[in-house]
Structure 1
């Protein structure tokens, strides 16, 4: 299969042909050859360049669109997905209020520092001993009250200068893509019901012993590379965690 990226992209030959094509096209996003918001060549041009059928390219592009790496715009073509604060909040923040409206939290306070990764952070982010991380602590609110406290940990080598940012962005994943060329492609979450201790009560302005929801999240970039570990505690007395399945 011919193509300008063949020399730099190794694809297992045992993969179905469309999956090989997909891997090569994903690599173009990963390496920055295709940039966020860029219009990509059409199916005919890609099929001709890669020496495969149009149907093979269509299937590869279809999977990339389903994974939100690409977006198709009627009458305009197919573009590399560009993260925005709104799209990232809608996609990755799953809380709704008592009447079912999405909650859009705003940062009340945040602080960040560079430090040596703790053992748990090294494990989640697959870092070597002694690696540095950026650790962010922040409280976000909704409806005039604190809603969640987050401890966010990211590898310092991926995000140099983040701790010195004058104002930590309310939504980080679009910032990661636009400033650091790191695209978050997905993640996993684990949820636990917990009760507020004195520290959590102070953060969230609730009584000690109040029920909280703890959310542990690991986010990945390409090739399942972990780029963020986040631990949140949320005051959910008037909120619901809602996800759409299928």
Structure 2
């Protein structure tokens, strides 16, 4: 069976468990990202090379890479090729950080770690991160500021087996970059739940705000390339001068 026949077959019976050929190629390329074959920022082989290696057409490889680019897993650079996406501040700002100034200006926040600890996961952390009963988690509480003004308090939980040694480090401002470069864990997507809340006393003290003022609570679960939970982050955000912006691409 040639590629065209296989593509027509897999596209026509996807509901029976088959996947279009370009999706199969995408999955194989993502597996290489998971296995660390290509590091963040590294160029991928050319479409012609990948097509020859995988035994498919260049058009199929191009479609697979386009799908990965739409998912922000790779970056296409005109005349230069395709590169594994980095978790730099610019990418995080547009893909994961959704708070924008009411004037439309995007600013990546600066962070101050308020607390860092290692403990056995509680019931909520086990449920969110799908952890076994005795798994330990790294807990990080941070204050984040924009233009010097405190606007966000974050409580973060990480599976300790996935990030060995992080509890003894001083976490940088860009955590997703640290996960990828130091631990080989790429945050590929997130699931968020938003809710209007009143700021509690502890968060108000950290933010320099009045207890009970309105705030936006963002409950975010970060997922790896393999769709595995890697981070649970709950943020309480003051939005007097900010708004949440979600853009479809």
Q: 1:242 aligns to what?
A: 245
Q: Of 105, 112, 119, which residue of structure 2 is paired with 1:101? A: 105
2:109·2:144 contact (CA, 8 Å) conserved in 1?
yes
Unaligned runs of 5+ in 1: 2-11
- Partner of residue 178 from structure 2, selected from 175, 178, 181: 175
1:201 correspondence with 2:204: yes
| Superposition map of 1:123-162 within 5 A | 123-162=127-166
Counterpart for residue 77 of structure 2: 73
Q: Are 1:189 and 2:209 matched, yes or no?
A: no
Match of residue 50 from structure 1: 54
CA, structure 1 residues 240+13, in 2 after alignment: closer, same or farther (shift >3 Å)?
Answer: closer
Residue 6 (structure 2) aligns with:
none
- TM-fit CA distance, 1:228: 0.4
The whole-number CA distance in structure 2 between the counterparts of 1:87 and 1:193 is: 27
Query: What TM-score results when the alignment is normalised by the length of structure 2?
Result: 0.89
CA contact (8 A) 2:121 2:135 kept: yes
- Report how far residue 13 of structure 1 moved: 7.9
How far has the Cα of 1:174 moved from its partner? 0.8
The answer as to whether partners of 2:113 and 2:140 remain within 8 angstroms in 1 is: no
State the match for 1:87 in structure 2: 91
Contact 2:215–2:238, Cα closer than 8 Å, also in 1: yes
Using the alignment, how far apart are the partners of 2:116 and 2:222 within structure 1?
Answer: 19
1:218 aligns with 2:221: yes
Structure 2: 5+ residue stretches without partners: 2-15
Structure with more helix by fraction: 2
Structure 1 residue 244, shift from structure 2 partner: 1.3
Q: 1:223 aligns to what SS in structure 2? A: coil
* Equivalent residue, structure 2, for 1:116: 120
Distance 1:203 1:43, change over 3 A: same
Alignment partner of 1:28 is 2:35 = no
**CA displacement 1:44-75 (0-9 Å, x = unmatched):** 11111111112211111111111111111111
Cα deviation for residue 245 of structure 1 reads 2.5
Further displaced range: 132-141 or 47-56: 47-56
Counterparts of 1:88 and 1:21, CA distance in 2: 26
Deviates more, 1:196-205 or 1:129-138: 196-205
- SS where residue 187 of structure 2 aligns? coil
Secondary structure, counterpart of 2:161 in structure 1: coil
Contact (CA 8 Å) 2:74, 2:82: kept in 1 or not? yes
Using the TM superposition, give the Cα deviation of residue 117 of structure 1 relative to its aligned residue in structure 2, in angstroms: 0.5
CA distance in 1, matches of 2:217, 2:17: 43
